[in-house]
Chain A
Amino acid sequence: MNDHKIIFTGPVGAGKSTAIRSLSDVAPVSTDELATDITRERKEQTTVAMDYGILKLDGGETVHLYGTPGQERFNFMWDILTQGGIGLVLLVNNARPAPFTDLHFFLSAFEKFINSTALAIGVTQMDKAEPGAPTLEDYYKELPPKYINTPVFEVDARQKNDVVILVESLLFSLDQCLEA
């Protein structure tokens, strides 16, 4: 039986672990550790290996939900992680100092994977961002032309509905003829 996977990525504190927890049918496995570096200023624990959850489909099939570690020094895993993936969910924390730098970093890191699949972007912490922080329109302006059709939504990773809509948009981006 085939198993499939959706990859969740983004910088530290963007909500990857929370998003997977919102969606997973089983208690997600999270390999969080106490943060020992600059990450600690943002959160007590950070994911050093990866998050993992499961979506159980009718008929016994499963879709694996993988979250990449937020810290860049673990990025050697990303190529392995994305092999055979359905698509990429990129979460960007709008309250970080340079969210567009994060955006471009992850678009570049996963370019090959995105080009062969699809991308959906969730912008988190929009309500906590400072005045003048980027709007969704700003994100669209910042996207390279080849990603202009990408769904970009305001997301609260704790809200299952938000994460569902994000993944749903990813699927319809891959196949507009898809019927529910």
Chain B
Amino acid sequence: MNTSIKTQHEHGTSRESDVIYISLKGIQGLAKKSLAFLFSTQANRKYELVDDHPDAIFIIDFDDFRGKAAWDEMQSHKQASSSKPTILIGLDPINEEGVVSLQKPFRTQDILTAIDTLIEQREEQAQALHNRYPGNSDVVSGKESAQQHKPRMSSSAAASLNEKELHAFIGSAADIDLDDPAAIAAVQYSPERFLAHHLGKMTQVALKERKYLQLGCCDTLFIVDPHKQCIHTDASPRSQRSLGALPMTGKSPAYEKLTKLPADMESRQQCFSWEAFIWRLALAGARGRLPEDTSLDQRYVLRRWPNLTRLMLFPHATRISAAWVSAPLSLREILKELAVPQRYVFAFFSAASATGLLVEAEPASTARKEKPSPDQPSQRRGLFRRLLKTLYRKQGDNRA
């Protein structure tokens, strides 16, 4: 029996083409109801659970005999099913090629991100097909075609997040009680499980030693080029959020040194600014959370301003940068001083830490400029506020 769940599209429309078909294999009872409920609560997507559909995304429970049987059957018809987008879930790490795997327990956001990843992969395959057969209008829509022709630039202008992206990259968690250990634990995540952490570490080594370093992860290669200060990869800009957001399963990826850049990577000429790339991935992984074991009382300082004109910008990022570059501050101090929603500070902390820009302050670091005391407000604060308002309006105009 098909279970149909229809939620309204973000703007009240519900085009048939927007439906995401999901086929569950080996997922029954409460687990099925939970997933059905999860999909029904996604305001910006319309999901439909089906037994089978040519465009379905399969979610298979590897721990259930029916799921295992369904997977075995798909494998036995591999030629026909090779393009079927599949998410395998299981208690143990699953090493199957060509699928997305999630280790239990996982967060609901992980499964939504995994679905997004598969949709993006399918769209990319459709685009690749369209490039091969450009006359076939059935293969890819006009909108997708236009996107394909956008030049891939290693360094593009700052992208300010729209509302949907804000949710995807910063999350929507409410502020917590900073004196409640349980509440703090709930907004922490393990950066080691995400790509940005490993890529960040590797980039610091590559830049310091001036060596090409390569890391393979998630069916994708990443090579840090210390001379061009960028990361070569064949991952498309569209798939980067998924790469950053999906927790890795299995062993931590290891990097290797290369004596030179492989010719095929060089010929592709797709090299992303390392800072912008890691920043974006880190935001996607953190989603407004803090790395676990982060002390709220340890003071941190920015080594330099992040290159904000080329990074994924979110509210308060400039202000947080200014505060953390001018004085060593703990999370508790900066939250109190700026009084902005915690998730923005947590997101900034995660991204700036992954890029290596935010570091623990040395106890003796007092050389930095003293900030004006809050009880002696700048005489020109009123003017600056009005000026900022005008500037933000211009940013809005620019985006429109």
Contacts and interface: CB of A to CB of B under 8 A. Distances in A.
B391 A164 contact: yes
Contacts of A177: 337, 371-372, 374, 377-378, 381
B307 A136 contact: yes
Interface footprint category on A: 35 or more
Given A4-B383, A135-B229, A173-B322, A180 B304 contact: no
A55 B158 contact: no
Contacts of B28: none
Interface stretch (B136-144, B231-239, B392-400): B392-400
A47 to B, nearest CB: 23
A137 B372 CA distance: 27
Contacts of A36: none
Contacts of B227: 131
A137 B380 CA distance: 32
Contacts of B386: 57-59, 61
A156 B380 CA distance: 29
A151 interface: yes
A172 B309 contact: no
A160 to B, nearest CB: 5
Interface in B299-329: 304-305, 307-310, 313, 318-319, 321-323, 325-326
A173 B391 CA distance: 16
Interface in B126-160: 154-155, 157-158, 160
23 contacts: A4-B387, A23-B394, A55-B387, A56-B390, A58-B389, A61-B383, A152-B304, A159-B157, A160-B395, A161-B309, A162-B157, A165-B158, A165-B309, A167-B387, A169-B322, A171-B384, A171-B388, A173-B322, A176-B337, A177-B337, A177-B377, A179-B339, A180-B389
A180 B326 contact: no
A169 B318 contact: yes
Contacts of B325: 149, 151
Given A126-B155, A177-B377, A165 B389 contact: no
Contacts of B15: none
B368 interface: yes
Residue picked from B304, B313, B371, most chain A C-beta under 10 Å: B304
Interface string A115-143: 00000001000110001000111001000
B369 interface: yes
A160 B394 contact: yes
Contacts of A168: 318, 388, 391
A153 B305 contact: yes
A166 interface: yes
B333 to A, nearest CB: 12
A178 B391 contact: no
Nearest to A156: B157
Given A135-B229, A149-B369, A57 B390 contact: yes
Contacts of A156: 157, 309
A145 B374 CA distance: 25
Contacts of A136: 304, 307
A154 B372 contact: no
B268 interface: no
Residue picked from B229, B378, B392, most chain A C-beta under 10 Å: B378
Nearest to B329: A176
A21 to B, nearest CB: 13
A165 B309 CA distance: 7
A161 B308 CA distance: 10
Interface in A57-81: 57-59, 61, 63
Contacts of A63: 387, 390
A155 B309 contact: yes
Nearest to B399: A161
Contact of B319 (A57, A127, A149, A172): A172
A175 interface: yes
B305 A152 contact: yes
A7 interface: no
Contacts of A58: 386, 389-390
B377 A172 contact: no
A176 B319 contact: yes
Interface in A9-58: 23, 55-58
Nearest to A166: B309
Given A169-B322, A177-B377, A178-B381, A154 B307 contact: yes
A174 B384 contact: yes
